[in-house]
Amino acid sequence: MLGMREIRRRIRSVNSIQQITQAMQMVAVSRLKRAKERLRSARPYAEKIQELMESLAPSLPQIEHPLVAKREPLRIAVVLVTSDKGLSGAFNANIIQYAHRFIEEHSDKEIKLFLVGKKGYDFFGRRSYPIEYYLPQVSRDISPQEVKEISNSFVQGFEKGLHDEVYLFYTQFRTVMNTIPTQTKLLPIESPGAESQQGAAELIYEPSAEEIMNELLPRYIEAQIYKGLVESSASEHASRMISMKNATDNAEEMIRTLTLSYNKARQASITKEIIEVTTASEALKYARES
């Protein structure tokens, strides 16, 4: 058994670890709350732009736009969203593994990486994949400029024909306990819900269907990236919150067992002292009598 002093020291250190994990848990809770709020307020735009895309879908096939160009997929761009900070459980590992599996399944193709977040860069930077773009640190309330920058990084390459397909990998937020690594095909844009609505073809376009598309398609991509970033940040905080809660609970448990063994050690030493005293006095008594 450990000595009392040793046990006391360990209790102290576990205690300070617990304080840290508890603080991180609290921070994650409040960040998660904000991220969920952002997720909720990002939903209308995503829905409306989808609606707009659908109502324009009937005219989409007739339009020749570089962003809808289908090519033989020889070079694939992978856009991966991870977090910058660790201590969030399996959050980064899950999404990185998910993307890595996809990359290995397509090992006959040329893969290019577009990384958002430090953790993805840490993983793929050590491997021999060409990293075309890397954005470390997305600001806490994701700005439209950042979204634009990310989307420009691969849209231009796609227009020039440097890659033939673009996939976005991010962690979808369902509930706190349920976050799912997800992939979406960003480019080429496929006409959503081709079942054309009645009367959609009678739309009047101003200035013209083609120019509307020119403006709409990049924004459609941006909306998807924004959604990916928001979902990913909500998932990250949810995951950190859970893992920090577990860490706090574990520390609590550890303090309990350590306190128990501390008490036992203390009791043992008291008993030992009493035994020493009584044996000594018994011995003295015996010596006097004889």
Positions in the binding site for another protein (CB under 8 A): 38, 41-42, 44-45, 48-49, 51-52, 55-56, 144, 147, 199-200, 202-207, 211-212, 215-216, 219, 222-223, 226
Backbone φ and ψ for 173, nearest 5 degrees, come out as -100, 115
231 class by beta-carbon count within 10 Å (0-12 exposed, 13-18 middle, 19+ buried): buried
**Min separation Cβ 38 and another protein, Å:** 7
Residue type, 148: K
CB nearer to another protein: pick between 164 and 222: 222
276 class by beta-carbon count within 10 Å (0-12 exposed, 13-18 middle, 19+ buried): exposed
CB nearer to another protein: pick between 111 and 142: 142
CA distances from 113 to 85, 153, 268 (A): 20, 11, 62
CB nearer to another protein: pick between 18 and 232: 232
**Min separation Cβ 46 and another protein, Å:** 9
Rounded to whole angstroms, the Cα distance separating 78 from 166 reads 6
CB nearer to another protein: pick between 53 and 247: 53
Backbone φ and ψ for 140, nearest 5 degrees, come out as -65, -45
Cα angle, residue 89 at apex, residues 88 and 94 outer, rounded to 5°: 105
**Min separation Cβ 84 and another protein, Å:** 21
**Min separation Cβ 198 and another protein, Å:** 11
**Min separation Cβ 200 and another protein, Å:** 8
Rounded to whole angstroms, the Cα distance separating 187 from 251 reads 47
CB nearer to another protein: pick between 15 and 55: 55
CB nearer to another protein: pick between 55 and 153: 55
Rounded to whole angstroms, the Cα distance separating 54 from 228 reads 20
CB nearer to another protein: pick between 6 and 215: 215
Q: What is the 3-state secondary structure (H, E, C) of 132-157?
A: EEEECCCCCCCCHHHHHHHHHHHHHH
**Min separation Cβ 104 and another protein, Å:** 34
**Min separation Cβ 214 and another protein, Å:** 8
CB nearer to another protein: pick between 103 and 142: 142
Rounded to whole angstroms, the Cα distance separating 195 from 257 reads 64
| Phi-psi group of 75: left, alpha or beta (phi > 0 → left; psi -120 to 50 → alpha; rest → beta) | beta
**Min separation Cβ 222 and another protein, Å:** 7
Residue type, 159: E
